Amino acid sequence: TEFLNKKTDLMMWKQANRHRRAVTKQIIRDSDSGAGQSLDFDGIPLSCRSMGYLLPGGHELLKDVSLEVPQGKIVAVVGPHGSGKNTLLRIIAHQLFPNIGDVFVPSHLRLLHVRRHAQILDRTMLQNLTLGCPSAEPPDLDRPKAILKELLLEKYWQEVEAETSGAVRKQESKQWFKSMTHSEQNLFGLARAFTMNPEVMILDSPCMHYQEAVAKQVEDLL
């Protein structure tokens, strides 16, 4: 009962999504009132306006953050330890919410926050790889297979082939990740994100702790 009665961020999520829709609609209205020009939805930037964030206890970690990022760009957030890089990314991803100002991501864009350490679900490899993808149709296996190959995880594809062919029992098909190293599990988390292919992907230190050759593969895939 205590757990079920804990506060959630549901209302803040609703407020953030309503803000995204309202701002997007206003941009559309402003475009319609222009000189007969159609709106380029891919031209609507992501932005922060005078955004600030306080840590518990009142310490001001982020103050008056304003930025604008065009769609289709790769942007790196750099700075010293403790300067708020991870917090900024989590705010943009709607994992945290600012105390002042606002963050705007056009409402037609899907957001995905990819943590540094992957969370592997107690499901089959294919179910993990296609998590977040539309499930109305059978998954396209060519895409995740190609992504695993790019991330040097192709040897694990035999698990998917065994699963789809019925060569392993359902319970056995959930044991695949136990043979992976910690780095391979994190790479698998990236593979899952690339399989979902969201319009906005927010990654926390995606190349950290990898050897140079593996980090290069990640950068090339990005």
Closest to 89 measured CA to CA, from 71, 75, 107, 110:
75
**Mean per-residue pLDDT of the chain:** 87
- CA atoms of 221 and 112, how far apart (whole Å): 16
- CA atoms of 90 and 196, how far apart (whole Å): 19
Name 105's Cβ contacts closer than 8 Å, sequence gap at least 6.
20, 46, 92, 111, 200
pLDDT tens-digit map of 77-121 = 999 998 999 999 999 999 999 999 999 999 999 999 998 888 888
Closest to 93 measured CA to CA, from 10, 202, 12, 193:
202
Residue type for position 55: L
Asked if the model's pLDDT at residue 190 lies above 90, the reply is yes
Asked if the model's pLDDT at residue 55 lies above 70, the reply is yes
pLDDT number for residue 169 = 64
The token duo for 118 is: 């992957």
pLDDT number for residue 112 = 93
The pTM for the full model equals: 0.84
pLDDT tens-digit map of 148-177 = 999 999 998 988 888 887 766 655 566 788
- CA atoms of 134 and 63, how far apart (whole Å): 38
- CA atoms of 196 and 162, how far apart (whole Å): 22
Provide the 10 A C-beta neighbour count for residue 140: 11
